[in-house]
Amino acid sequence: MIMLTGCGNPAEEVLKEIETGDAAKAQQIYEKKVSGDSSAEKMVEDGLAPVLETILEQYNTGDVTKDYVNQQFDIYRSMIGETATFVDAEKCLLELETSKKNFEKGIEFQTAGDTISAYNSFSGVIETDVNYETAKGYMEAIQKQNNEQAQVLMAQAEELFEQQKYQDAFNTAQKAYKLSGDNVKYEDFSRKIIECLATQCEIQNPEAIQTEDMRGRQAWCLRCDGINGVNLNELSDKQIIKTFKEFREIYHRTFDPYGSLSSSFGNTTIGDFYCAGKWYDIHIDDSFGKNDYVEVYSESEQQERVKANVTAAENPVPHSPSGWTTGGPSTKNSDEDSVSDSGSQEYQNALTKGLKYANQLFMSKQAVYDQLTSSYGEGFSEDAAQYAIDHMTDVDWNANALEKAKQYYYKMDMSKKAIYDQLTSSYGEQFTSSQAQYAIDHLE
């Protein structure tokens, strides 16, 4: 309810029309009598705050449509502009809109029998959404059912592991992980398989170490005592390369048979083998098979190399549509060309939406991309979404991970380990391991 204190005040005239529901007339009065008068403008802004809250509540309860809300917001935006009051209201609207889409997706997935996708969608329903308690109930029922199924699957995976059917064992464990979200069991089981595969290649006392690749995704390397009883520093590059290729081949068949062999194992930021205080980075020429070689680094050298790799990953070389970075055939190497090729309205819209998801909902880079391209989300093309991601250069993804972590820590009473798993999970927030660790390290 708007409280009016007297007559003759232009700001009060505007608010009176708003209260009666005639936003168009309120806009006309504002433009004629209020615009330019700072005190009157402030009075209208203050009076609009409860109006915007009412509209949001009506949208939340389903009494008005999203189109109606957009229409009203457009009118009020033209009056008061992007003030703090209006920005806060837009943020709440975006959160509610995303939440309700998540709830709708959850119902659709649940009806189709896809409980994993249903659970993940329901988890995106916020507390202020009228559907929150319903979504919470669905999640609890799904989690109970999924945990029971995951236990059965993990028992099957262990049996397959004992039979040395490693690919079937991994696939079964992966299904269990998707149901339960138990990242610890999944990683431990994967580690156990990797070490058995390495032993088959006569790699002595292998210890699978989890690390990251250049894009911040989970990857593995091996610590070992040598190959077939011999320390790596006593072996030729040819012998090391031979064993590495054998191991990479069975790793690929077990974990990613339909993916690329060259990207299956051996793309970490730290190296492939660690033996007797030295890192061995094996480079395989999968294109021509002529330029295979091994690089060896001490501990200190490797630390410097990791820093350089991380810096390079965080500051990628600019990419132009032609594939050239500093000019080339049929290119002018100009900003005008790149804008004309990729700066269409569609691309700019994707960028605007992406920034809202990143800056207001604290999403990860991958989550923003998925939201932009999803048919249940914004429905942008992959090119437009990638353009948006590439141009979100001012977003602090570490800070976003921290904000998400705070929500889980203070509002949902989760442990730091559970939060880390949720932040990094491909079925959760999809932050990189380093971003998630930053968040955990900075929780108060």
More confident position, 212 or 273: 273
* Average pLDDT estimate for 88-116: 90
More confident position, 153 or 33: 153
Cβ–Cβ under 8 Å, residues 29 and 10: yes
More confident position, 283 or 211: 283
* CA neighbor of 32 nearest in space, from 20, 14, 19: 14
* Average pLDDT estimate for 76-84: 76
Residue % of the chain over a pLDDT of 90: 37
* Average pLDDT estimate for 69-91: 81
Which of 113-117, 157-161, 251-255 has the weakest average pLDDT? 113-117
Q: What is the pTM of this model?
A: 0.57
* Average pLDDT estimate for 201-223: 83
Three-state DSSP state, 383: helix
- pLDDT at residue 311 tops 70: no
The token pair that represents 95 in the structure block: 């959160």
pLDDT bin (cut points 50, 70, 90) of residue 428 is: confident
Between CA 243 and CA 198 the distance in angstroms is 9
- pLDDT at residue 1 tops 70: no
* Average pLDDT estimate for 408-435: 83
pLDDT digits (tens, 9 = 90+) for 361-405: 889 999 899 889 887 678 888 888 999 999 998 899 999 999 989
* Average pLDDT estimate for 96-116: 90
- pLDDT at residue 212 tops 60: yes
* Average pLDDT estimate for 51-69: 91
End-to-end CA distance of the chain: 39
pLDDT digits (tens, 9 = 90+) for 322-373: 332 333 333 334 444 443 444 588 888 899 889 988 888 889 999 899 889 8
* Alpha carbon separation from 262 to 26, 251, 256 (Å, rounded): 64, 11, 11
Looking at residue 378, its pLDDT comes to: 82
pLDDT digits (tens, 9 = 90+) for 28-50: 888 888 777 778 878 877 888 88
Q: Is the dihedral of CA 139, 144, 147, 152 positive or negative?
A: negative
- pLDDT at residue 279 tops 60: yes
Looking at residue 273, its pLDDT comes to: 93
- pLDDT at residue 245 tops 90: yes
Looking at residue 317, its pLDDT comes to: 39
Looking at residue 417, its pLDDT comes to: 85
Looking at residue 328, its pLDDT comes to: 33
* Alpha carbon separation from 160 to 90, 168, 332 (Å, rounded): 52, 7, 58
Between CA 404 and CA 376 the distance in angstroms is 22
Looking at residue 330, its pLDDT comes to: 34
Looking at residue 308, its pLDDT comes to: 65
- pLDDT at residue 137 tops 70: yes
Looking at residue 192, its pLDDT comes to: 97
- pLDDT at residue 312 tops 60: no
- pLDDT at residue 210 tops 90: no
Q: What are phi and psi of 275, to 5 degrees?
A: -150, 125
Looking at residue 123, its pLDDT comes to: 86
Looking at residue 332, its pLDDT comes to: 37
More confident position, 72 or 163: 163
- pLDDT at residue 24 tops 50: yes
- pLDDT at residue 310 tops 70: no
Looking at residue 334, its pLDDT comes to: 40
Looking at residue 2, its pLDDT comes to: 47
Buried b (16+ CB within 10 A) or exposed e, 8-25: ebbbbbbbbbbeeeebee
The token pair that represents 126 in the structure block: 């916020």
- pLDDT at residue 321 tops 80: no
- pLDDT at residue 214 tops 80: no
* CA neighbor of 103 nearest in space, from 60, 151, 144: 60
- pLDDT at residue 184 tops 80: yes
- pLDDT at residue 233 tops 50: yes
More confident position, 311 or 2: 311
Looking at residue 346, its pLDDT comes to: 87
> Could you tell me where the DSSP H helices lie in 284-427?
299-314, 335-342, 345-360, 365-373, 382-390, 397-406, 416-424
Looking at residue 124, its pLDDT comes to: 86
Looking at residue 207, its pLDDT comes to: 96
Element (H, E) at 14: helix 10-20
Q: What is Dmax (Cα atoms) for the chain?
A: 95
Looking at residue 195, its pLDDT comes to: 97
